[in-house]
Amino acid sequence: MRPPAAELAPGPMLVWRCARPWLAISSAPLGGGLGERSWVVNATVPAGYRRLDPDVHLAGLAGAAGLTGAGVGLLTAVDVRDVVHETDSGVQAWVTTGIGGHPTWAAAGDPVECPSRVGTINAVCWLPVRLAEAALVNAVATVAEAKAQALVEAGIAGTGTATDATVLLCPPAGPAEPFGGPRSPVGAALARAVHAAIRAGLRASA
């Protein structure tokens, strides 16, 4: 099964159209959770974006792009034309990297209102083999660990931003890999691809 390719649509917006539904796990505001998805979008919004219904907004953008069925939608203040695509051992990762001057530590304290200039690190990743549900959850954690490593290595005081989102896609059928952690075969490749993409994105935006 071939991975979907990223297309650039007006907005700007990145679009991945799947020839057949893929099993997805995501923290996205539209189509998040676990289930089969037929498309993914990652759309640029203004830095001062304040809508409280991003799912509705994304559904409208997807409809305007001719996307139908269940999909996943992400938003970012980063220009998605600056996406970085990395591959490693069959794993593919497309990452838009923005910290907007406001990286955060995961355990910084009580919730606070998001600043007007937020950054977002969105990762859309394709895995060439099916993962068990628990392994997919573990793989999401692997993406977060790789992201934190890249930020710390770049001298950024934070583990991410308050609005980061992740999408992982894998085949919906076939033997299921039981592990998605950073020392498993697929998890190690995922960690390397995401780490490389974020490092490259940080260098480009410096």
Q: What is the radius of gyration, based on Cα positions, of the chain? A: 16
The model's pLDDT over 30-39, given as tens digits with 9 standing for 90+, comes to 999 999 999 9
Query: Which amino acid, residue 136?
Result: L
Fold entry, domain 6-205: L-amino peptidase D-ALA esterase/amidase (3.60.70)
The model's pLDDT over 59-79, given as tens digits with 9 standing for 90+, comes to 999 999 999 999 999 999 999
Residue 116: per-residue pLDDT: 45
Q: In whole angstroms, what is the distance from residue 34 CA to residue 11 CA? A: 27
The model's pLDDT over 195-206, given as tens digits with 9 standing for 90+, comes to 999 999 999 987
Do residues 204 and 84 lie in contact, with contact meaning Cβ atoms separated by under 8 Å? yes
Sketch the domain layout of the chain as residue ranges.
6-205
The model's pLDDT over 131-168, given as tens digits with 9 standing for 90+, comes to 999 999 999 999 999 999 999 999 999 999 989 999 99
Which residues, 6 or more positions from 63, have their beta carbon under 8 angstroms from its beta carbon? Answer: none
Q: Is 63 exposed, middle or buried (0-12, 13-18, 19+ CB in 10 A)?
A: exposed
